[in-house]
Amino acid sequence: MKKIVLFASGSGTNAENIILHFNKTNSGTVAAVFSNNPDAKVLERAQKLNVPTVVFSKEQFSDGTILQKLIDLKPDLIVLAGFLLKLPHSLVEAFPDKIINIHPALLPKYGGKGMYGMHVHRAIIENKEVETGISIHFVNEHYDEGNIIFQKTVALNGKESPEEVAEKVHQLEQLHFPEVIAELLK
């Protein structure tokens, strides 16, 4: 069975959704959830679903400790699901075209350093965009610049709050992220 490793820094709703999706299939399994945040809700969600967790420091991320753990796990795919740190070059190099990320906007718009979560949704409203969506892309050495695998749009009426935009985007993430991962594992 194909192995997925998830990286997350926050609440973990996407990670939980991915774990639940693959618990119902034979196409893959989530082997572990890695987090740089010892207080992240994702850790609790993963543990409730019997998925091993690894909490690490920035030093362990950059000194090769996490890279070695990943090499030992031999994942078929590494999935960033709300992970906020930039990956070290050595990790990206060790897993070419095996690391994907989801971004809460239609890249290349609203990508790059500092463009995550509500920052993205506020910028979309400020610029009076008529649509937004999600982008799932391969990870390279630059924030949000890897080749795009999948995008899905949702219309905006110009009256939404940032929280309402976030909810529309989150619904797209929940629906499409596990499906795209499953396709990549084939």
Task: Give residue-wise pLDDT tens across range 99-143.
Answer: 999 999 999 999 999 999 999 999 999 999 999 999 999 999 899
Region 160-181 average pLDDT: 98
Confidence band for 50, pLDDT divided at 50, 70 and 90:
very high
Region 17-33 average pLDDT: 96
Beta bridge partners of residue 155, listed in sequence order: 131
**Over pLDDT 90: what percentage of the chain?**
96
> Which pLDDT belongs to residue 62?
93
> Which pLDDT belongs to residue 7?
98
**Mean pLDDT of all residues belonging to the chain:** 97
The predicted model scores a pTM of 0.96
Check 21, 89, 103, 142 and give the catalytic one. 103
> Which pLDDT belongs to residue 170?
97
165-173's contacts with Cβ under 8 Å and 24+ in sequence apart are 165/121, 165/124, 165/125, 165/132, 166/104, 166/117, 166/118, 166/121, 168/132, 169/104, 169/105, 169/121, 169/132, 169/133, 169/134, 170/13, 170/104, 172/133, 172/134, 173/14, 173/17, 173/102, 173/104, 173/134
**Over pLDDT 70: what percentage of the chain?**
100
Q: Is 119 a catalytic residue?
A: no
**Token pair of 119, please?**
């920052």
> Which pLDDT belongs to residue 117?
92
